[in-house]
Amino acid sequence: MPHLPREIDFFGVLLPGVLPVFLLSVGVHIVLDSALGSLGVYRRSWHPALVRLCLFTCVFSALLIALYR
């Protein structure tokens, strides 16, 4: 498995290595979110915002687990 760097050297500033993964999951999440929104899934849930956050956490964690070993 490839190892992702813990820190990224961004023009001399060290950024955490999870940042690109975070951005990627934000992108995935936006797509998922608009799809679920137009399907009306959120309207059936008790706490739509919580569902949305959990969804994001799942996406982010899944990507992290898949990419970091």
Partner 1 sequence: MNPLPAAPSSPDHSAAGKAWRWLLNETAGWLNSEGERWIFVARAMLASFSALWLAFRLGLDAPYTALATTVILAMPSSGMVLEKAFYRFLGTLVGCAAALALVGLFPQSAPPLFVGLVLWVALCTGGAAMHRNQQSYSFVLAGYTAVMIAVPAIDAPVNVFNLAVTRVTEVGLGIICSAVVHDLVFPRPHARAVMRTVQARYAGFIVFCRAVLAHRITPEQAELHHLRYAADIAALESGRAAAFFEAGHSRWHTRQLHAFNAAFMTALTTFYTLHRLSHRLRQDGASPMPSLLEPMYAHLARALEAELTPARLAQMRTELAADIASARAQLAQKPGVAREQQIGFDTATELLERFAANLADFAGLYHGLTQQRRQQVSDPGAYSPKTPPAIIAASGFRAAVTLLATAGAWYWLAWPYMTNAVLMATIFCALASSSPRPTALIQQVLTGFIAGMPLAFATEFLLVAKADNFYPLVLAALPLFALGAYLASAPRTGGIGIGLGMFSATLLVPANLMRYDVESFLSSELSLTLGVAVAYLMFKVVLPEHTMGHRGHVAAALWREAQHACTASLPRLKRRYDNRVRDLLSQLNAAAGPAPDAVTRAVVRQGLTLLELGHAVIELRQLIAAAHAGEARAALQAVQDHLAGYLHAPSHSGGDAALRAILQAGVAVRAALPDAPPERRARLRTALADLHAIYTSLLDQLSTGELHRAPSAP
By the rule CB under 8 A, 61 interacts with partner 1: no
- What amino acid occupies position 60? F
Q: How far is the CB of 1 from partner 1 (least distance, A)?
A: 27
Closer residue to partner 1 in complex, CB, 3/43: 43
CA max distance for the chain: 48
Distance between CA 18 and CA 8 in Å, rounded?
A: 9
Taking contact as CB under 8 A, which single stretch among the options 1-9, 37-45, 59-67 is the one that binds partner 1? 37-45
- Alpha-carbon distance values, 16 to 6, 32, 69 (Å): 6, 25, 16
Residues lying near partner 1 in the complex (CB under 8 A) are found at 10-13, 15, 33-34, 37-38, 40, 42-43, 47-53
